[in-house]
Structure 1
């Protein structure tokens, strides 16, 4: 792993020196930063772009960001200025050019924010997704705190819920539970035991996915949490034992010691419905208590209210499909015989054309 402290780059001539130079732009003295810029400019190659963009996103120095933008524009022949989203889309729509020290750089860089982040990238494990598409979400590990073994109430005691409030319902071995969206929106994950089975429910607020995973695989219970990073605007999980990064969509590790080991968690059924309808169908259900141990505004619709007030994305993605608006809800069908060709249907279309 690279040291996170500033290192004078002039005496170094290896790939390590380049990675250190980028770190120096964040942690070094003014003179060291000037030398670092000259080294980066002299040795520039396309694999430097991901490191440059991550430094620009984190630095508070207009001088540093301006110098890097000037170099990038000259080398790439593109006038994108300080539009980081445009630079990232340009990078992601080209073949990946990964610098030999990029993983170590990323490990050292984000360990400045949370030392636990270093393990995500400083591993000898496989990487099944592009490292430059892993974007920091602005929080520390479990900074959006999962609800672990949360307190539950009997349905008749859940006076805080109205019949039209949205809940995510599930039933395992006859044990019915309801997890209100108004609560889960602030936590994005619950880790629980339902019907005697360890599970994790993952709610990615940014993309609207709600997935239940059975967390035991081949006798090992993978204790999952919120990594603090995203991939294509979809949260990445981590497991406590190895700090591997897991895809929320796939229920599988994609970076780190467990990646490429054939691990894929089995998913279960989750129903998104109203509290009144779920309670009618499952009168013996239990439901999350407001006593979560955290101070949040759990009012209906409060979580991410500003985000859903517009169609703008919080984090960039490689490409946009203009057939629907970014945040239009869709119902997706995955066919067992053709998993590579999912079918997405607009929720608005289905509401207007019930089947």
Structure 2
């Protein structure tokens, strides 16, 4: 039986239109360092040496920038949205001065949106092959799609140094356009994977990324399948690219809520958190607590070194006799995001996992 390649799937929606229009570039020993690119105080864990990860990279089909990032995004009011159904997935961010949401229907064709929040430059990134959405502070640079994949995951590059940044790892590795980058991790921010209906209920005045992206795309056609209802690639056991780790404890596309830090990684099955509302585990040797947020069908993971009792109370969370919103517990919160099981365990094979 013929299995379509990623290039074939993307060609059906015109995503490879730019393929071949940009060269691969040549390596150089000297690159400007973007001193204003915000990086984390601690480096996130890597599953192998950066040079070894480079050797694992393979072409995803389109070449460098063959999947074009959105670099001049425009936004519309919710009442002007006519291309989203209530159950369609969206990726939202709410701050004191900005509330924005990025439809999966749009980002599946671009994977990166270089935007601003309250005047701060950011990149919203989405990898459809691994089911991961990540927000990064980008300083004065922009991120683009390298055309390479590791563990089926998007490898970004920054347009100042041309270093590679695997999306899930959020950390520099060596690449052909910058063979000696400084190894460091990006500063991340949380994007909530939810549905259009749930996001709009909580944020009726949200700004919505519009289909006016500057690129001719059919945003009604997801080349990989569908999330509403979920089907084809997104729930199939078939893989378009090999996994780094063959771990069949769970279906490869089963969704986990993953959290990682310099001292380890932990994952909770999303449907288990949905059922239990509060779960406990360990990240490295530190006790952690995961709590469910039914407003968005998502979860948060907190360090809980003193193992304080945490209980669900009608959608709120009780800690130490007081109740809090699930995203506002008086505990250190760890950056947490959705991921397909194969993608998470491929990068973090020593992860603790709880079901």
* Residue of structure 2 aligned with 1:182, choices 90, 105, 111: 105
User: Residues of 1 paired with 2:183 and 2:213: CA distance?
Assistant: 35
2:164 is aligned to 245
Match of residue 214 from structure 1: 137
Superposition RMSD on alpha carbons, in Å?
2.6
The Cα offsets for residues 126-169 of structure 1, whole Å up to 9 and x where unpaired, read as 98231320111111111111111211101121132222221100
- For the pair 1:313 / 2:239, whether they are aligned, the reply is yes
Cα distance per residue 1:234-255 (max 9 Å; x no partner): 1111122222211212333211
Q: How many residues align?
A: 235
Provide the residue aligned with 2:222 in structure 1. Answer: 302
The structure, 1 or 2, with the larger RCO (C-alpha pairs under 8 Å, 6+ apart) is 2
Give 1:302 shift: 2.6
2:64 matched residue in structure 1: 141
For 1:331, the equivalent position in structure 2 comes to 257
1:129 match: 51
The 8 Å contact of residues 22 and 65 in structure 2, kept in 1 or not, is answered as no
Gaps of 5+ in 1: 1-111
1:116 pairs with 2:39: no
Structure with bigger gyration radius: 1
Residue 269 of structure 1 deviates from its aligned partner by 1.5
- Answer yes or no: is the 8 Å Cα contact 1:185–1:203 preserved in 2: yes
Q: CA deviation at 1:258?
A: 7.9
Q: TM-score, normalised by structure 1?
A: 0.60
Give a deviation string over 1:267-287, Cα, whole Å, max 9, x none. Answer: 111111111221222222100
Superposition deviation, residue 313 in structure 1: 1.4
Aligned-partner Cα distance in 2 for 1:125–1:246: 18
For the residues of structure 1 that align with 2:99 and 2:22, how far apart are their CA atoms?
39
Q: Matches of residues 226-265 of structure 1 in structure 2 within 5 Å? A: 226-256=145-175, 257=178, 260-265=181-186
Alpha-carbon distance change, 141 to 207 in structure 1, aligned in 2, over 3 angstroms: same
CA 1:245–1:135: 2 relative to 1, 3 Å: same
> 5 Å matches for 1:56-135?
116-119=23-26, 122-124=27-29, 128-130=50-52, 131-135=54-58
Q: Deviations over 1:203-253 (max 9, x none)?
A: 01111111000102xxxx221100000112111111222222112123332
Which structure 2 segments of 5+ residues have no match?
A: 1-18, 32-48, 226-231, 279-355
Distance 1:324 1:118 in 2: 40
Contact 2:165 2:173 in 1 (8 A): yes
Shift of residue 115 of structure 1?
6.3
Which of 120, 143, 147 is residue 197 of structure 1 equivalent to? 120
User: Residue 168 of structure 1: which of 91, 98, 122 is its match?
Assistant: 91
Question: d(CA) in 2 for partners of 1:173 and 1:262?
Answer: 32
With normalisation by structure 2, the TM-score equals: 0.60
> What does residue 156 of structure 1 align with?
79
